[in-house]
């Protein structure tokens, strides 16, 4: 008992811990208790910060012109070498494809080269995908050729013609025949532009009008944020669509690969008619053309699959551009067109056309075909870009892309160009070459300018068979 009492006395003599009662409150409660704010101030604080007109305008510009963000972040410096090589490789396809696709639409070859220059520069400023190679496209050229067969448009060209519709010279079964007033849309015709200048000028003006309408449609789709349409595109649809496009592109070149002169296929089932004509005239295959084609295809496959893909080179070999240069030099100095009758594109008119007012009439047919081309181009472009974006681990803004497509068609339409679109081979090439930003268009723009204004004189001996390889 004494021991217990002694322990209690010892505890009472020790200092007790200080106990402090505190009031616990959240930050808003503490602010209301200790920092009272006038009611008007509290309402103003809860409102979002209102930006001035200039700040809001700058936000819109930053969103619509992605190149400003690239320049601000200076990402183009560390990616300059990769973009330079990728753009150089893409130029190797832009050049021959521009020539070929213009002829597929029944237009002067030089127009295809010009159709590459301005869209590349404009997309570099307004586009967001580093793997979009804007320019000419085989499917678009085929649809433009079909559009120019429309009766009211043909009547418009005939009315503008000074010397009548140009005659079309076809070679079928080794027999030469001339069809009066026939309109060719395939690369199997020759005609004199000078003999029917008004006809060709009106033809170009109609294509420019369709290009302008397509650009306006893209721009309106961007304003109304219709990029959501791509959410309904499944992967199987995008893969199937791009595969179908590849089949049409391959089919458009098969006659050139065999050196055949075929009548243009029109109407329903034109692809079936094309292959029927190919097999019907297979005995007329031009052996030198076939040999050059097989050699080019073999080299391309060997380098792309056997070297670039197999060894995973950091900077893949730009075999497309190298092959174009080598074949051009060989054809020029070996005189393949004159000695072996290897087909070349002949004389190419270089330089930009003088600005013109695109033909806006007849409105009905132009709007109908422009709508078809715009929809096909939209689904093709977005399908290709989304596949490559998924493969390279980034996302795209469909509305920004629509705005870029609109700009690429509206502004250059007054300089006589074909509708601008993505070509799957060029886009895949940019992805394989490791393009990092849209600045890869700088090298393409500069080289195409040089080709158009100076080096284009050496393009005359370019083999037709190498146009789309």
List, as one string, the DSSP characters of 137-171.
-HHHHHHHHHHTTSHHHHHHHHHH-SS-SPPEEEE
Q: Who's near 14: CB < 8 A, 6+ residues apart? A: none
What pLDDT is stored for residue 260 in this prediction? 85
DSSP 463: B
pLDDT in tens, 171-192: 333 333 343 444 333 333 344 4
Q: 3-state DSSP: the chain helix, strand, coil percent, rounded to 5?
A: 65, 5, 30
Residues 132/429, Cβ–Cβ less than 8 Å: no
At residue 274, the pLDDT reads 86
* Per-residue model confidence (pLDDT) at position 181: 43
Residue 338 to residues 192, 335, 467, Cα–Cα distance (Å): 20, 6, 19
Burial class (CB in 10 A: 0-12, 13-18, 19+), 139: buried
Tens digit of pLDDT at every position of the chain (469 positions): 565 566 655 555 555 555 555 556 666 676 666 665 555 555 555 555 566 667 777 777 777 788 777 777 766 677 888 888 888 888 878 887 888 788 888 888 888 888 889 999 999 989 988 899 899 988 898 889 889 888 888 888 888 875 544 444 333 333 333 434 443 333 333 444 434 667 888 899 999 999 999 999 999 999 888 888 777 777 777 777 777 877 877 887 788 788 888 876 766 777 888 888 888 888 888 888 889 889 988 998 899 888 888 887 766 777 877 887 788 788 888 888 888 888 776 666 777 778 888 998 889 999 999 999 998 899 888 888 888 888 888 888 888 999 999 999 998 999 888 999 998 888 988 888 888 888 888 989 998 888 777 655 555 555 444 444 4
Q: Which helix (H) or strand (E) holds 179?
A: strand 175-179
How far, rounded to the nearest angstrom, does the alpha carbon of residue 155 sit from its chain's CA centroid?
Answer: 32
User: Alpha carbon 234 to chain centroid distance?
Assistant: 21
Which has the closest alpha carbon to 157: 179, 183, 139, 178?
Answer: 183
- Phi, psi angle pair for 19, to nearest 5°: -100, 125
Residues 6+ apart with CB under 8 A from 419: 137, 140, 144, 207, 210, 211, 214, 373, 377, 409
The CA distance from 220 to 168, in Å, is 39
Q: How far apart are CA 283 and CA 259, in angstroms?
A: 11
Q: For position 180, what pLDDT does the model report?
A: 43
Q: Which residue has the tokens 């458009």?
A: 252
State how far Cα 104 lies from the chain centre: 18
Please provide residue 294's backbone torsions phi and psi, each rounded to the nearest 5 degrees.
-65, -40
Distance in angstroms (rounded) separating the CA atoms of residues 397 and 408: 17
> By the 8 A CB rule, do 355 and 414 touch?
yes
Tokens 């013109």 label which residue?
A: 356
The pTM of the full predicted model, rounded to 2 decimals, is 0.73
């Amino acid at each position: 008992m004494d021991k217990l009492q002694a322990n209690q006395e010892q505890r009472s003599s020790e200092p007790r811990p200080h106990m402090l009662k505190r009031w616990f409150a959240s930050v808003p409660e503490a602010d209301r208790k200790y920092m009272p704010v006038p009611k008007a101030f509290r309402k103003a604080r809860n409102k979002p910060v209102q930006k001035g007109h200039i700040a809001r305008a700058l936000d819109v510009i930053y969103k619509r012109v992605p190149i400003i963000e690239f320049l601000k972040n200076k990402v183009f410096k560390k990616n300059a070498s990769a973009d330079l090589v990728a753009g150089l490789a893409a130029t190797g396809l832009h050049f021959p494809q521009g020539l070929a696709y213009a002829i597929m639409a029944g237009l002067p070859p030089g127009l295809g080269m010009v159709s590459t220059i301005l869209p590349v520069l404009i997309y570099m400023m307004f586009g967001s995908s580093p793997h979009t190679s804007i320019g000419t496209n085989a499917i678009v050229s085929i649809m433009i050729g079909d559009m120019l067969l429309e009766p009211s448009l043909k009547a418009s060209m005939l009315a503008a013609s000074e010397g009548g519709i140009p005659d079309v010279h076809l070679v079928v079964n080794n027999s030469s025949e001339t069809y009066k007033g026939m309109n060719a849309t395939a690369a199997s015709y020759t005609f004199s532009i000078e003999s029917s200048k008004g006809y060709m000028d009106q033809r170009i003006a109609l294509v420019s009008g369709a290009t302008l309408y397509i650009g306006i449609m893209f721009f309106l789709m961007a304003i109304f944020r219709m990029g959501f349409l791509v959410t309904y595109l499944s992967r199987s649809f995008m893969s199937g669509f791009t595969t179908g496009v590849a089949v049409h592109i391959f089919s458009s070149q098969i006659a050139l690969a065999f050196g055949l002169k075929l009548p243009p296929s029109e109407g329903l089932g034109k692809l079936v008619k094309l292959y029927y004509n190919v097999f019907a005239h297979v005995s007329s295959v031009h052996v030198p053309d076939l040999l050059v084609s097989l050699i080019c295809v073999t080299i391309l496959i060997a380098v792309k699959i056997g070297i670039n893909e197999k060894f995973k080179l950091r900077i893949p070999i730009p075999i497309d551009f190298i092959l174009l240069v080598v074949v051009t030099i060989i054809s020029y100095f070996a005189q393949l067109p004159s000695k072996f009758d290897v087909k070349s594109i002949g004389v190419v008119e270089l330089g930009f056309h003088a600005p013109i007012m695109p033909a806006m009439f007849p409105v009905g047919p132009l709007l109908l075909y422009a709508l078809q081309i715009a929809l096909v181009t939209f689904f093709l472009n977005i399908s290709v870009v989304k596949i490559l974006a998924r493969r390279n681990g980034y996302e795209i803004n469909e509305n920004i892309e629509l705005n870029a497509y609109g700009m690429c068609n509206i502004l250059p339409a007054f300089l006589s160009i074909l509708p601008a679109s993505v070509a799957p081979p060029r886009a895949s090439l940019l992805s394989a070459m490791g393009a990092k930003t849209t600045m890869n268009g700088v090298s393409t723009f500069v080289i195409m300018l040089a080709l158009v204004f100076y080096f284009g004189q050496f393009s005359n001996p370019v083999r037709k068979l190498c146009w789309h390889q």
